[in-house]
Structure 1
Amino acid sequence: MTDQLTIRDLRRKWKPHKERLGAQGGEHGHPTPIRFHRACSWLAEIENLTDAEDNDRTLIYQWIAFNALYGQWDEKRQEPKQDKTSWQDFLDQIVSLDESKYLESMLVENKKLVEAILDDEYLSKLFWRNPNQGTARQARRAKFASRTWYLEEKWTLILDRVMDRIYQIRCQLIHGAATYNGKLNRRSLKRCVMMLEHVMMSVLQVWIDHGADQDWGPMCYPPQG
């Protein structure tokens, strides 16, 4: 299982690519190692949290790490591109590169967790547009749809739907729509933290084994000075 690796293990695996690409970098360095370094720096900080149950900060750090990989710079508007489009395009690319089937294996191993997330109305945009029993039932239909997706091996679709649910709670935290270490939706948050850990470890494995020489697009805010 990929998530048994530590950040130190991943950095060790990445080192040959880092050195090779570093020699090719321009004035501010090659963007691919910079993205990887930024992502790992935030994931490493999770390992340093004194409270292992600090799921609020854990999920925020996890998403920042993910954003370091997927973030795209809009060269025309001179600002970062829209989050959702960027991470969806990124995951499409990652899945297409995943010859080792890290993500497929991860989704199969964590099918129950995937179903639990898709069965949680509090992680659904549809529910929050008009919270009631009817929209809650509609929001939970994704769980049953996912069983067909698994049979048809629609890994990109499953990943997209799960990440969309995680993005919902990420937005609640980032935009101040939740209380730090509050009492509500703790189970939802815990599931998202668990899932995002699995996703990030699998994505980084694909990045190392199959993505070192890919063009990951214009990086946001390259190092200066």
Structure 2
Amino acid sequence: MGLRVHRSISWIGRAEQVGDDHDAAFLFLWIAFNAAYADEGSLQGIATGERGAFEGFFAKLVALDADQQIYNAIWKQFSGPIRNLMQNRYVFNPFWQFHNGVDGFDDWEERFNASARSFAQAVQSTDTTRVLSFVFDRLYILRNQLIHGGATWNSAVNRAQVGDSAAILGFLMPVFIDIMMDNPDEDWGQPFYPVVD
């Protein structure tokens, strides 16, 4: 856990140094997120995939969040940016599958609306773990766009989603790390790249 926290904090610190460069902040914060949650199983493809790893990590964090820091971030501080992110088709995977000509995604709009309804149900039932899963599904698409060269640095196109996403991650990552540090005896998994002499 100490190695995870140390690495994650280093990337959070780097993200804080970039000023208004939301692209760089988001990428550094995503690295911090990977440092916090990814274990050797998920990186070897043994786990149920990234979504499964996310959900397990979120469920553990929410269960251990005695001060409800995550709940307050989602429901109070970032409800607007999260709502905007969830209403943005440009961070919805089926939208891109359709536009890239992948068969079976002609119904992307129906899927988008169904996702919005499911998200609204999670919000109404104050299911923080499920809401985090929805949010990180969208953040993951943005991560893919940036990492795989599907966006131009500092582009005028779709800037709001990058700024909102960096702000959401920038707030949540220190909260996640605080919860991990408050619970050092929990099994946070084995880092895939340990320090080796």
Fold in common (TM above 0.5): yes
In the superposition, the TM-score normalised over structure 2's length comes to: 0.85
Distance 1:41 1:64, change over 3 A: same
Q: Which consecutive unaligned segments of at least 5 residues does structure 1 have?
A: 1-31
2:20 is aligned, of 49, 53, 61, to 53
How far does residue 39 in structure 1 lie from its aligned partner after superposition? Answer: 0.3
In 2, distance between residues paired with 1:133 and 1:181?
31
Aligned length: 189
Q: Which residue of 1 aligns with 2:88?
A: 120
- CA shift in 2, pair 1:136/1:190, >3 Å: farther
Residues 102 and 205 in structure 1, CA contact (< 8 A), matched pair in contact too = no
C-alpha deviations, 1:7-63, integer Å up to 9, x for none?
Answer: xxxxxxxxxxxxxxxxxxxxxxxxx111100000011112222xx221111111000
1:71 partner amino acid: A
Distance 2:171 2:6 in 1: 19
- Whether the 8 Å CA contact 1:115–1:146 is kept in 2: the answer is no
Q: Which has the larger radius of gyration?
A: 1
| Aligned with 1:201 (options 170, 174, 184) | 174
Match of 1:185 in 2: 158
Say whether the 8 Å CA contact 1:72–1:220 is kept in structure 2. Answer: yes
Q: What is the Cα-based RMSD across aligned positions, in Å?
A: 2.3
Determine the structure 1 residue equivalent to 2:102. Answer: none
Which residue in 1 is equivalent to 2:130? 157
Give the Å deviation of 1:86: 2.2
State the match for 1:221 in structure 2.
Answer: 193
For 1:12, the equivalent position in structure 2 comes to none
The gaps in structure 2 that reach 5 residues or longer are 100-104
Shift of 1:143: 4.0
In structure 2, distance between residues paired with 1:120 and 1:185: 9
State the match for 1:63 in structure 2.
30
Matched residue, 1:42 = 11
Structure 1 CA distance for aligned equivalents of residues 40 and 97 of structure 2: 30
TM-score, normalised with respect to structure 1:
0.76
Identity of aligned residues (%): 25
> By how many angstroms is 1:136 displaced?
4.6
Structure-2 residue corresponding to 1:111: 79
Counterparts of 1:144 and 1:74 in 2: how far apart (Å)? 32
Letter matched to residue 222 of structure 1: P
1:33 matched residue in structure 2: 2
